[in-house]
Amino acid sequence: MSGLLEVIDGGIGNSIQDTGRFGYRHMGITVSGALDSWLARCANALVGNAPDCAVIEIRAVGPTLQVTHGRIRVALAGELSATITRASGRSQQVAPWVSVTLFPKDRLEVAFLTGGTAYLAVSGGIRSPLQLGSRSTYQRAAIGGIDGQPLMSGQSLPCASQDHRQYHEYHSDPWSCAGGAACTVRVMLGPQHDYFKPQAIDTLLGCEYQVSAQQDRMGMRLDGPPLAHLTVQSADIVSDGVTPGCIQVPGNGQPIILLADCQTVGGYPKIATVISADLPLLAQMHPGQTLRFAAVDARQAKSALLAREAQWESWVGDMAFGVHNVAALYNDPTAAWDYVDDQSNEECDR
């Protein structure tokens, strides 16, 4: 059964993202996808979706959505909340890490996000058109999402509608893999670390850097001790491939970490690359936050990724299912009978 949401207010900095657009970098097409892939997975799990379903990525002012068709389960993952205004006019506060079901004419207003990244998942995922195998929005090329644009007023977001008997909700403890106020991000050196003076490696691994306000989905500039190139000429290279996580260093010595919407080639030398397990940490860093770098090898990077996957499996295993959705019971005249049937079945099971 289909569901449909109308975007009443697109907010600021919000876009449709999934796991990304792979297999087209040789054509100059970026991967895109969720900046914090683990948090996007959490949001999907809270509404019963597969991990790769498309979600709404929230980076600043949250969107306002209204149900135009179907019963739609939603959930927030991240440090923000929302308000539901039911068709009856009654308001309800919605916390993150718990799902809730919306009905036709219900309105969801997501609050302002003070920093970092959060996700809103809906039942069945946002079913915008697939483009090159992904629904992820890449605004610079106007592909993915809805007409390649960020969330905007007047857009319609197709999704799935919940079965009318599903009156239990998911809830969980918050997902966390961050390192606190001063976060340590693991990197593998290279591929052009030999374009820098030896003390530059010591500086990168031994000093603190601050996240600057100059950041978007393409990259994040850092402020801190400059990293000295081997020669003046070493500050520029023949453009070669880059990926999310690469740390480029232009002539001023201040590092730039490339993120999900980064270009496919670049002409600045890359002193190191953030490992896949830690790349989502960058999505949660606020301007002014401090970070440090630690070097690991390929074996350690793989082990870290496997450990993160195991942490995710444990989180999903601990997620609870069984909170009765009282609002849903009041909104559907047949719900009370379903609720009685469910309670009777539970008694029989005992």
Q: Is the pLDDT of residue 347 over 60?
A: no
Q: Which domain holds residue 222?
A: 182-308
Residue 286 DSSP code: P
At residue 328, the 3 state secondary structure works out as helix
160 shares its domain with 191: no
Domain count, the chain: 2
119 shares its domain with 219: no
207 shares its domain with 134: no
Q: Is the pLDDT of residue 107 over 80?
A: yes
Token pair of 340, please?
A: 């009685």
The mean per-residue pLDDT over the stretch 208-227 comes to 96
Q: Is the pLDDT of residue 277 over 80?
A: yes
295: Cβ–Cβ under 8 A, 6 or more apart, which residues? 186, 187, 188, 189, 205, 272
Taking residue 181's Cβ as centre, other Cβ atoms within 10 Å add up to: 9
Token pair of 114, please?
A: 């003070």
133 shares its domain with 153: yes
Q: Is residue 46 part of a domain?
A: yes
- Kindly report, residue by residue over 73-104, the tens digit of the pLDDT: 999 999 999 999 999 999 999 999 999 999 99
23 shares its domain with 151: yes
Q: Is the pLDDT of residue 191 over 60?
A: yes
- Which residue carries 């302002």 as its tokens? 112
Query: Regarding beta strands 290-295 and 182-189, do their DSSP bridges make them parallel or antiparallel, or are they unpaired?
Result: parallel
56 shares its domain with 136: yes
Q: Is residue 136 part of a domain?
A: yes
262 shares its domain with 334: no
22 shares its domain with 168: yes
- Kindly report, residue by residue over 152-166, the tens digit of the pLDDT: 999 999 999 987 666
129 shares its domain with 273: no
- Kindly report, residue by residue over 41-71, the tens digit of the pLDDT: 999 999 999 999 999 999 999 999 999 999 9
The mean per-residue pLDDT over the stretch 241-265 comes to 96
Q: What is the pTM of this model?
A: 0.89
Q: Is residue 202 part of a domain?
A: yes
280 shares its domain with 341: no
* Chain mean pLDDT for the chain: 89
Q: Is residue 200 part of a domain?
A: yes
pLDDT score recorded for residue 319: 86
100 shares its domain with 54: yes
Q: Is residue 313 part of a domain?
A: no
Q: Report the CATH number that the domain containing residue 298 is assigned in CATH.
A: 2.40.100.10
Q: Is residue 314 part of a domain?
A: no
Q: Which of 29-43, 99-113, 171-185, 222-236 has the lowest mean pLDDT?
A: 171-185
Taking residue 216's Cβ as centre, other Cβ atoms within 10 Å add up to: 11
pLDDT score recorded for residue 291: 95
204 shares its domain with 274: yes
The mean per-residue pLDDT over the stretch 243-254 comes to 96
pLDDT score recorded for residue 346: 34
Question: What is the distance between the alpha carbons of residues 117 and 80, in angstroms, rounded to a whole number?
Answer: 10
